[in-house]
Structure 1
């Protein structure tokens, strides 16, 4: 296949994928209750998360920056 045909196919696929995402119906009010359950949270238990962040900050002697690897103490 020529690069021109592949480009057209890729463009058609991207357009089809973009348009199919618009076809989904909005979430109904009675369905939102399922998404609001505590076990559906991304970060999990809020108290446990806060406790773990406190311990991490105490070990690293800094707050925030928990998204990077390694540690301030030199023990990766």
Structure 2
């Protein structure tokens, strides 16, 4: 095997080893990520109003994404 093939094999093995690492955020630590301080919007009420106006004006209800826990429920 030439050096390029060996280097590619080592690189692929290192990349695949990254899949074996446990998640950095444990389930009991996820409450910290759901803290309101982590939201992108400064004012939640204002953001909801702007979203409502955008939905009504553009006829694009839900176009900016939706809430939910990853299960498809809102």
Instruction: Give me the TM-score of the superposition, normalised by structure 2.
Output: 0.45
- Tell me: higher relative CO, structure 1 or 2? Use CA pairs within 8 A at least 6 residues apart: 1
Which has the larger Rg? 1
TM-score (norm 1): 0.45
